[in-house]
Amino acid sequence: MAQPPPGKGGPEEGTPEYDWLYGSRGSARPDDATRMVPKQPRPSASPDETRVMPTQPRQDGPSSRPPGRGSGTAAPAPASKPTKPSKPPKPPRQRRRPRVGFGVVKLVLLAWLVFLVAVPIWAWSKIDKVDAVPDGDRPADQPGTNYLIVGSDKADDLTAEQQKALGTGPRGGTNTDTIIILHTGSGPDTRMSIPRDTLAEVPGHGEQMINAAFALGKAPLLVASVEKLTGIHIDHYVELGFGSVINTVDALGGIEICPKTDMKDEKARLDIEKGCQDVDGETALAYSRSRYVSALSDLDRVGRQGEVIGALGSKAKSPWTIINPLRYWRLTTASADAIRIDEEMGPVSLGRFAFAMTGDSRTCTMPNLPAPSDPNRLVADPDRSPAVFQAIIEDEQVAPALCTPTGRAKQ
């Protein structure tokens, strides 16, 4: 049965009995039933015309809508914005303490670097320079650098107490106990000793023991004699005296030597037992000078000189030498006081020489034989020595079989 439409026999809209969802069913509606919003009368307008929704008055205060034009009603005062709660005050900023410790470390490092550079520069000004360039024809320039190291009996750099202990005096360096060619180049460094008793041609003086060249014509004639014997071009000259060994060893706090037998040599002021032991400068010098305690005499001495040089280099390149300023100072000044170099040798070349002397190198003695005219003299071995000389000339490594401590062929 159809229900009558609203307004026609049934409950009217807005009456308690009217239920829009269920029509007129039931005389009452539940309290929670959804009510239909009453229809608002719409003014006549086209279907697509935009309608403006009526505004509802605000319940919490006067309307904030601005008055229309021509309205005499004054605009209400704008509502004040709520104030934000103030932030708590920040605690006073603490000032950072300056890094005093770090600044001191930087100053110490700077002073240390200046010291490391300044000491060699100062020592350079104390080194004696000599003319070592020979006259006449010379071998052409060769790869690498060749230093001629001469250990003379110059004793005027020793104290009076040291001269008395060694039984020597200030002879001014008239003899050369040590003659070494130090070659540096593309390969390992090589130190080749030339025995002092080697017979060689001394330009202008005929055949002589090679160490006589120094007494006859000082550094230039010795350089010329070595070049004549070997064909090796000498680039720089370095002369060391007795004091250079003693003071350098003492500056390093001693070195270790390892004699294979007991050694007692009154002429060298030497009396030590066999076995490895630490010695001071005077004992190290006596050990390297001794020549009357072995069958090979000067040849064995050459080997001991190489041992002392190697021990000096090993001790000098220790990090403690750089870290300890007192040791660094003593080593640098001791070396400068007892060394002479050629006039063309600059600080860079001297530095390279020092590194080569303290670095690892192959130590040899010129291959030799007893002289036919005098068994107490030596001559360069005509079969083996040319190969050693040529290897140095061409900046190549000397064959191990040719590089022996005494210069004699391996048995």
Cβ atoms < 10 Å from Cβ of 379? 18
**What DSSP element (H or E) covers 48?**
none
Nearest-angstrom CA–CA distance, 127 and 335 = 9
Q: Which regions in the chain score pLDDT beneath 50?
A: 1-4, 6-10, 12-15, 18, 20, 24-30, 45, 61-64, 68-72
pLDDT in tens, 295-341: 666 777 777 888 888 888 888 878 888 888 888 888 888 878 778 89
Structure tokens at 40: 């608002």
Instruction: Give 294's strand partners.
Output: none
**What DSSP element (H or E) covers 191?**
strand 189-193
Whole-prediction pTM value?
Answer: 0.69
Domain presence at residue 7: no
**Domain span at residue 307?**
129-402
Domain with 185 in it: what CATH number?
Answer: 3.40.630.190
CA angle at 145 for the pair 143 and 149, rounded to the nearest 5°: 145
pLDDT in tens, 154-192: 665 666 776 666 666 555 556 687 899 999 988 888 999
- How many domains does the chain divide into? 1
Domain presence at residue 352: yes
Domain presence at residue 343: yes
Q: Closest Cα partner for 371 from 177, 223, 195, 202?
A: 195
Sign of CA dihedral 250, 149, 377, 222: negative
Nearest-angstrom CA–CA distance, 177 and 211 = 7
Domain presence at residue 86: no
229-263 burial, b for 16+ CB within 10 Å, e for fewer? Answer: bbebbbbbbbbbbbbbbbbbbbbbebbebebeeeb
Domain presence at residue 276: yes
171-208 burial, b for 16+ CB within 10 Å, e for fewer? Answer: eebeebbbbbbbbbbeeebbbbbbbbbbbbebbeeeeb
